[in-house]
Amino acid sequence: MNQMLNQCPVCKSELVVTRLFCLNCNTTIEGHFHPETNPFASLSPEQMQFLLTFIRCEGRFNRMEEELSLSYPTLRNRFNEILRSLGFEPGREETPVRLTAEDRMRILDELAEGRISSEEAQQRILGKKEEAVEK
C-alpha cells in the first residue's frame, strides 16, 4: 500500500480524503474527511528511519554511532535537519514567558473590548507574539 500524500503534487495545496475503504468487509464510505495532522508526515523515509533508530537507542548518540557506523557530528547534523523540518530551531532554547497578573488582565480586557482577537490574546498569553509597545 502506498503512503498517503498530504499535498497535491501539481499545485502543493492540501489534499482532502474523500473515500474510506475497509479491506475486511469491502465497505466504502464517501465524504470529506480531514486526516489527523501528523507533524512527521513531511519527513523523508530516511529521516523517519533515523528517528526510529534514535528512539530505539533511547536518544543516545553513542549507541547510534555504533549501530549506524556514523560519526557524532554526522548524527548531530542529521538530527538538526529533522528538527528544522519539524519547525524547530536547533540549539535555541525557548524561555518560558512569565506574565504578571496585571499583564494577563490587560490582555483579557483588550479581548473583552474587542481590540484583539481570541487568537492574538492566546498568543500573547503564551508569549508567542510580542505586544506592541504602547506610548
- Distance from CA of residue 7 to its chain's centroid? 16
Give the three cell numbers for residue 60.
543516545
Q: Are 53 and 61 in contact (CB under 8 A)?
A: no
Residue 131 has pLDDT above 60, yes or no: no
Alpha-helical (H) ranges within the chain are 45-56, 61-68, 72-85, 101-112, 118-126
Q: What was the pLDDT predicted at 51?
A: 95
Higher pLDDT, 36 or 77: 77
What are the tens digits of pLDDT across the range 51-92? 999 999 999 999 999 999 999 999 999 999 999 988 888 776
Distance CA 104, CA 9 (A): 44
Query: What is the average pLDDT across 103-122?
Result: 88
